[in-house]
Amino acid sequence: MELTTLLERMKMEHLLAQLDGVCEHAAKGDLDYKGFLTQALEAEWRGRHQRGVESRLKLARLPWIKTFDQFDFDFQPSIDRRQVRELAGLSFIERTENVVLLGPPGVGKTHLAIALGVKAVEAGHSVLFLTLESLMGRLVRARHENRLDRILQQLAYPRVLILDELGYLPLTREEASLFFRLLVRRYERASLIVTSNKSFVDWGEVFNDQILATAILDRLLHHATTVNIKGESYRLREKKKAGLLGRKPRPAGDPADVEEVGAEA
**Which residues of this protein are in contact with Mg ion, per CB under 5 A?**
110
* Region from 25-33, 44-52, 70-78, 119-127 binding ligand ADP, contact rule CB under 6 A: 70-78
Nearer to Mg ion, 22 or 107 (CB): 107
* Region from 99-107, 120-128, 129-137, 240-248 binding ligand ADP, contact rule CB under 6 A: 99-107
End-to-end CA distance of the chain: 58
Other beta carbons less than 10 A from residue 108's beta carbon: 26
Residue 212 in the binding site for ligand ADP (CB under 6 A): no
What radius of gyration, in Å, describes the C-alpha atoms of the chain? 24
Q: Which does 117 bind (CB under 5 to 8 A by kind): Mg ion, ligand ADP, none?
A: none
Output DSSP code: residue 164: E
- Rounded to whole angstroms, the Cα distance separating 157 from 247 reads 48
CB of 162 to Mg ion, least distance (A): 11
Identity at 60, one-letter amino acid code = A
Output DSSP code: residue 160: E
Nearer to ligand ADP, 106 or 117 (CB): 106
Nearer to Mg ion, 72 or 149 (CB): 72
- Rounded to whole angstroms, the Cα distance separating 227 from 100 reads 6
Nearer to ligand ADP, 27 or 245 (CB): 245
Site for ligand ADP in 116-175 (CB under 6 A): none
Q: Provide the 3-class DSSP secondary structure of residue 228.
A: strand
Q: Provide the 3-class DSSP secondary structure of residue 193.
A: strand
- Rounded to whole angstroms, the Cα distance separating 41 from 30 reads 17
Nearer to ligand ADP, 120 or 142 (CB): 120
Residues in the site for ligand ADP, rule: CB under 6 A?
A: 66, 70-72, 75-76, 103, 105-111, 195, 234-235
